[in-house]
Structure 1
Amino acid sequence: MHEQVITIPNLSGTLQLETTIFKPNGKGPFPVAIINHGKQSGNPARQPRDRSPVVAREFLERGYAVILPMREGFSRSGGVYAIPGCNLEYNGKYEADDIHAAVAFVQQQPWADHDKIVIIGQSHGGLSAMAFGARNPAHVKALINFAGGLHYEGGSCRWQDSLVHAFESYGKTTTIPSVWFYGANDSLFSPELARRMFDAYTKTHLANVRLVAFGPFGTDAHNLSGSIAGIPIWWPATEALLQRVGLPTKRLFVATNEGELPVTEIVEGQPPPGLNNVEQAAYDRFLQTPLPRAAAHSPSGIWSTSSGGPDFVERALNSCRERSKLPCSLYLVNHSVVQSESAVH
Structure 2
Amino acid sequence: MPLDARLNEQIIMVPAGDGMREVLETTVFRPSGPGPFPLLLMNHGKQAGPAKLQARERFIYMATEFVRRGYAVMLPMRAGYAQSTGTYRDFGCDMLGNAQGQARDVLAALAYARRQRWVDPQRIVVAGQSYGGMAALALATRALPGVRGVLNFSGGLRVDMSGCDWQASLTRAFATLGAYNRIPSLWLYGANDSYFGPALARRLFNSFAGSGGRGELVAYGPFKRDAHLTLGSRDGVAVWLPATLRFLQEIGMPVRQVYSVIDPPPPAETHFALLDDIAAVPYLTEPGRAAYRAFLDKTAPRAFALSESGAWGWAEEGESPDYRALASCQRRSSTPCHLYCVDASVVWPGGPGPGASAAGGAD
The answer, yes or no, to whether TM exceeds 0.5 is yes
1:65 aligns with 2:72: yes
1:167 aligns with 2:174: yes
Return the alpha-carbon distance in structure 2 between the equivalents of residues 11 and 249 of structure 1: 34
- Given that 2:181 and 2:212 are in contact with CA atoms closer than 8 Å, whether structure 1 keeps it comes out as no
1:23 aligns with 2:22: no
Pick from 134, 144, 155: which aligns with 2:162? 155
CA gap 1:25/1:125 in 2 versus in 1, 3 angstroms: same
Q: Alpha-carbon deviations, 1:79-105, whole Å to 9, x = none? A: 121223110111100100111011101
Q: Which residue of 2 aligns with 1:126?
A: 133
CA gap 1:90/1:219 in 2 versus in 1, 3 angstroms: same
TM-fit CA distance, 1:309: 10
Q: Which residue of 1 aligns with 2:85?
A: 78
Pick from 40, 43, 59: which aligns with 2:50? 43
Q: Alpha-carbon deviations, 1:155-206, whole Å to 9, x = none? A: 2010001111111111111121111111111111111110110000001335
In structure 1, stretches of 5+ residues that fail to align are 259-307, 316-345
CA RMSD of aligned residues (A): 1.9
Return the alpha-carbon distance in structure 2 between the equivalents of residues 123 and 201 of structure 1: 16
Which residue identity does 1:5 align to in structure 2? I
Q: Which residue of 2 aligns with 1:201?
A: 208
CA gap 1:309/1:92 in 2 versus in 1, 3 angstroms: closer
- Given that 2:28 and 2:72 are in contact with CA atoms closer than 8 Å, whether structure 1 keeps it comes out as yes
User: How do 1:245-256 and structure 2 match up within 5 A?
Assistant: 245-256=251-262
Pick from 224, 227, 252: which aligns with 1:221? 227
SS for the counterpart of 1:253 is coil
- Given that 2:37 and 2:118 are in contact with CA atoms closer than 8 Å, whether structure 1 keeps it comes out as yes
Which residue identity does 1:227 align to in structure 2? S
1:87 aligns with 2:94: yes
- Given that 1:11 and 1:100 are in contact with CA atoms closer than 8 Å, whether structure 2 keeps it comes out as no
Q: Which residue of 1 aligns with 2:309?
A: none
Q: Percent identity?
A: 43
SS for the counterpart of 2:134 is helix
Q: Which residue of 1 aligns with 2:116?
A: 109
TM-fit CA distance, 1:62: 0.4
SS for the counterpart of 1:151 is coil
Runs of 4+ residues over 6 Å off in structure 1: 308-311
TM-fit CA distance, 1:257: 6.8
**TM-score normalised by L of structure 2:** 0.70
Which residue identity does 1:114 align to in structure 2? P
- Given that 1:136 and 1:174 are in contact with CA atoms closer than 8 Å, whether structure 2 keeps it comes out as no
Return the alpha-carbon distance in structure 2 between the equivalents of residues 177 and 89 of structure 1: 19
